């Protein structure tokens, strides 16, 4: 660990408290389970020690049978109650701790969902996320370490308090022998305890540093291991290429190499164990001095045999408590560093301007979109993906956007949906800059089928409704408008048919074209006033494509629609065609008007494509 990594005590306290709050929020029930478990585990031995001492004192002293029976029954009952409580709390704690990994995923999912889209495409931010996720899920660094350690830290603190309370009379009681009564003994006992504490703390710290360095060394190694042993073979998307190009052979060789490297790391375990053994030796010497003191005091009549049991037991607990507390404090220094990194990532601010203006749902569906001199560069790039884009677009309009790949069509849609904000210029909805609107309300105006849309491994109905609750009639109607009816009737479970086999054995695999139809149905189901279709027929066969075009007006109904395609013939049906070229809108008009301009880009593109697609 570098020196600069050290955190101040107040930073450590505030990070630990924040971890407590995070766990409380994301893993409900785990913190109370930890607290109760720690209290019960710490106090249980003291109950046994205290009652055993009383019973032995009674046997060695007054021998009152009634008192003995009451004491013995109390031990039995208290132990029974503690065992029941412990059993229950162990189950609850175990369950919650097993579940915590699932909840940890939600910590990252929440951040991913709330971050600006621009950050999702930012490689550096995604790398940071991967690093934090990897550290947590592979080593438990940070939050999981906190959960594992806080348990024993509380246990240690409670043990120390209880044992001090139980051992006070050892020092206050006097024996017949003046030498044994000497305060030097008290000092000696404290001295060995302090030496023991320091030795343990040093070993823990050394071991922790060693673990940190070891896990650092293993990070790239584990990532490779995960790739060769897991991703490469498990990932369905890679399965075809893995087979055809026999990628399993280099993967096996890679795994073997990694195993050799892992063997070389084994000396780490040995060093770790030597440290632990040294600490155990010092603790053992501690016991010897403490027990000697107790035995001498008892020998010279300071207390009875029962109290010997009490003091010896309590001192044992004290040493154990100290060890746990030191472990907790040392580990806290390590996990708070990880927590700091995690929270720095989670606290990354969203830079996008968040407006508050509500989007009025207009009965007349009158929405006017206007691009005013909009230019845009992707973050980290120097070239403009869009240049001085200006156009108006009214409700009920149908606009087709055509142009070669890379001409800026999709970028225009991303700006319209506020996934990115313009570098220059502004976009307005009904005269107001779209940045002024409440973002969620604004996005509710749009239904978009992105070129690289994704469906999910839920039922087909839930995919269309994007909700658990599905309006069956509306979903079936949307699927039918999207041209999916024929395939849909062959699905035995109808809307409940699961998509893909990730979660359900009877899930159906669908073709790219079918997926595109379902994505279109999802956009129609949302029933937003604007519908944007980005290359909606790219994965469809020519017949399905023709079907969609010929029914396009019927499909989008009274909605305002923007239709994007690099294939010009797909857009012929549209009265308003915008031609994009190298980030600029260079022509706009109907097919006939554009085609008649023999020097225009549209004419050139049309003729170029006609050769391949056979359109005239």
Residues at the contact surface with ligand ADP, assessed by CB under 6 A: 121, 378, 381, 385, 403, 405-411
Backbone dihedral angles phi then psi of residue 64, each to the nearest 5 degrees: -75, 115
Pick between residue 118 and residue 508 the one whose CB is nearest to ligand ADP. 118
Longest Cα–Cα distance in the chain: 121
Quick one: tokens of 588?
């706009």
As measured in angstroms, the least distance from the Cβ of 423 to ligand ADP is: 12
As measured in angstroms, the least distance from the Cβ of 376 to ligand ADP is: 9
As measured in angstroms, the least distance from the Cβ of 378 to ligand ADP is: 3
Rg of the Cα atoms in the chain:
36
Cα within 13 Å of Cα(301), Cβ side: 3
Question: Which residues neighbour 587 within 8 Å (Cβ) at sequence distance 6 or greater?
Answer: 577, 578, 579, 594, 597, 600, 601, 602
Pick between residue 559 and residue 566 the one whose CB is nearest to ligand ADP. 566
Pick between residue 156 and residue 583 the one whose CB is nearest to ligand ADP. 583
As measured in angstroms, the least distance from the Cβ of 119 to ligand ADP is: 12
As measured in angstroms, the least distance from the Cβ of 126 to ligand ADP is: 12
As measured in angstroms, the least distance from the Cβ of 573 to ligand ADP is: 20
Which residue, among 563, 570, 522, 526, has the nearest Cα to 549 in the 3D structure?
Answer: 570
Backbone dihedral angles phi then psi of residue 120, each to the nearest 5 degrees: -65, -35
Quick one: tokens of 441?
């309300």
Task: Provide the b/e sequence for 151-189 (b: ≥16 CB within 10 Å).
Answer: bbbbbbbbbbebbeebbeebeeeebeeeebbeeebeeeb
As measured in angstroms, the least distance from the Cβ of 606 to ligand ADP is: 17
As measured in angstroms, the least distance from the Cβ of 328 to ligand ADP is: 46
As measured in angstroms, the least distance from the Cβ of 394 to ligand ADP is: 23
Cα distances (angstroms) measured from residue 203 to each of 12, 265, 273, 276, 281: 21, 20, 10, 7, 12
Instruction: Tell me the DSSP string of 380-391.
Output: T--SEEEEEEEE
Pick between residue 314 and residue 412 the one whose CB is nearest to ligand ADP. 412
Instruction: Tell me the DSSP string of 517-571.
Output: HHHHHHHHHHT-SEEEEESTTTTS-HHHHHHHHHTHHHHHTTSEEEEEES-GGGG
Which residue, among 577, 593, 592, 603, has the nearest Cα to 391 in the 3D structure?
Answer: 577
Pick between residue 294 and residue 419 the one whose CB is nearest to ligand ADP. 419
As measured in angstroms, the least distance from the Cβ of 532 to ligand ADP is: 12
585 strand-pairing partners: 580
Pick between residue 132 and residue 534 the one whose CB is nearest to ligand ADP. 534
As measured in angstroms, the least distance from the Cβ of 250 to ligand ADP is: 31
Pick between residue 19 and residue 386 the one whose CB is nearest to ligand ADP. 386
**DSSP letter, residue 509:** P
Question: Which residues neighbour 442 within 8 Å (Cβ) at sequence distance 6 or greater?
Answer: 355, 359, 418, 429, 434
Whether the CA torsion 334, 336, 340, 342 is positive or negative: it is: positive
Question: Which residues neighbour 267 within 8 Å (Cβ) at sequence distance 6 or greater?
Answer: none
């Amino acid at each position: 660990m570098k020196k600069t990594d050290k955190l101040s005590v107040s930073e450590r306290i505030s990070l630990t408290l924040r971890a407590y709050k995070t766990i409380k929020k994301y893993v409900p029930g785990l913190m109370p389970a930890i607290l109760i478990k720690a209290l019960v585990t710490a106090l249980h031995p003291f109950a046994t020690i205290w009652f055993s001492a009383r019973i032995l004192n009674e046997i060695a002293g007054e021998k009152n049978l009634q008192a003995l029976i009451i004491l013995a029954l109390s031990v039995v009952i208290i132990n029974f109650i503690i065992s029941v409580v412990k059993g229950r709390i162990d189950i609850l704690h175990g369950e919650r701790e097993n579940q915590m990994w699932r909840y940890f995923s939600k910590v990252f999912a929440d951040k991913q969902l709330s971050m600006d889209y621009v950050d999702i495409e930012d490689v550096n931010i995604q790398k940071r996320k991967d690093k934090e996720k990897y550290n947590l899920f592979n080593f438990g660094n940070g939050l999981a370490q906190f959960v594992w350690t806080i348990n024993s830290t509380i246990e240690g603190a409670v043990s120390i308090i209880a044992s001090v309370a139980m051992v006070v009379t050892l020092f206050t009681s006097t024996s017949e022998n003046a030498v044994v009564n000497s305060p030097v003994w008290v000092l000696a006992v404290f001295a060995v305890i302090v030496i023991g504490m320091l030795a343990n703390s040093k070993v823990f710290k050394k071991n922790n540093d060693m673990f940190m360095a070891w896990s650092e060394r293993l990070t790239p190694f584990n990532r490779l291991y995960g790739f060769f042993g897991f991703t490469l073979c498990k990932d369905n998307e890679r399965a075809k290429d893995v087979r055809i190009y026999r990628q399993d052979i280099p993967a096996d060789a890679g795994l073997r190499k990694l195993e050799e490297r892992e063997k070389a790391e084994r000396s780490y375990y040995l060093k770790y164990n030597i440290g632990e053994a040294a600490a155990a030796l010092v603790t053992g010497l501690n016991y010897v001095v403490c027990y000697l003191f107790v035995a001498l005091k008892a020998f010279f009549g300071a207390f009875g045999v029962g109290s010997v049991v009490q003091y010896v037991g309590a001192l044992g607990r004290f040493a154990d408590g100290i060890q746990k507390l030191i472990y907790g404090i040392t580990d806290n220094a390590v996990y708070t560093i990880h927590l700091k990194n995690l929270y720095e990532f989670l606290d990354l601010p969203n830079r996008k301007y968040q407006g508050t203006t509500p989007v009025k749902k207009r009965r007349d569906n009158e929405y006017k979109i206007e691009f005013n001199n909009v230019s845009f560069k992707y973050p980290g790039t120097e070239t403009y993906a869009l240049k001085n884009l200006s156009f108006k677009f009214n409700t009920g309009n149908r606009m087709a956007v055509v142009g070669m790949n890379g001409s800026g069509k999709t970028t225009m849609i991303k700006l319209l949906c506020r996934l990115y904000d313009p570098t220059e210029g502004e976009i307005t909805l009904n005269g107001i800059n779209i940045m002024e609107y409440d973002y969620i309300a604004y996005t509710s105006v749009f239904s978009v089928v992105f070129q690289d849309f994704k469906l999910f491994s839920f039922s087909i109905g839930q995919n269309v409704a994007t909700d658990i609750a599905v309006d069956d009639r509306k979903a079936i109607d949307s699927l039918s408008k999207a041209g999916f009816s024929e395939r849909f009737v062959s699905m035995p479970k109808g809307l409940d048919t699961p998509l893909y086999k990730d979660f359900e054995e009877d899930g159906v695999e669908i073709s790219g074209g079918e997926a595109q139809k379902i994505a279109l149905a999802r956009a129609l189901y949302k029933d937003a006033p604007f519908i944007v279709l980005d290359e909606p027929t790219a994965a469809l066969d020519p017949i399905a494509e023709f079907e969609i075009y010929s029914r396009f007006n019927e499909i989008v109904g009274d909605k305002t629609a923007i239709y994007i395609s690099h294939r010009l013939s797909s857009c012929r049906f549209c009265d308003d065609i915008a031609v994009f070229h190298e980030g600029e809108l260079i022509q706009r008009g109907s097919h006939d008007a554009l085609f008649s301009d023999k020097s225009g880009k549209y004419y050139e593109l049309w003729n170029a494509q006609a050769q391949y697609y056979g359109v005239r």
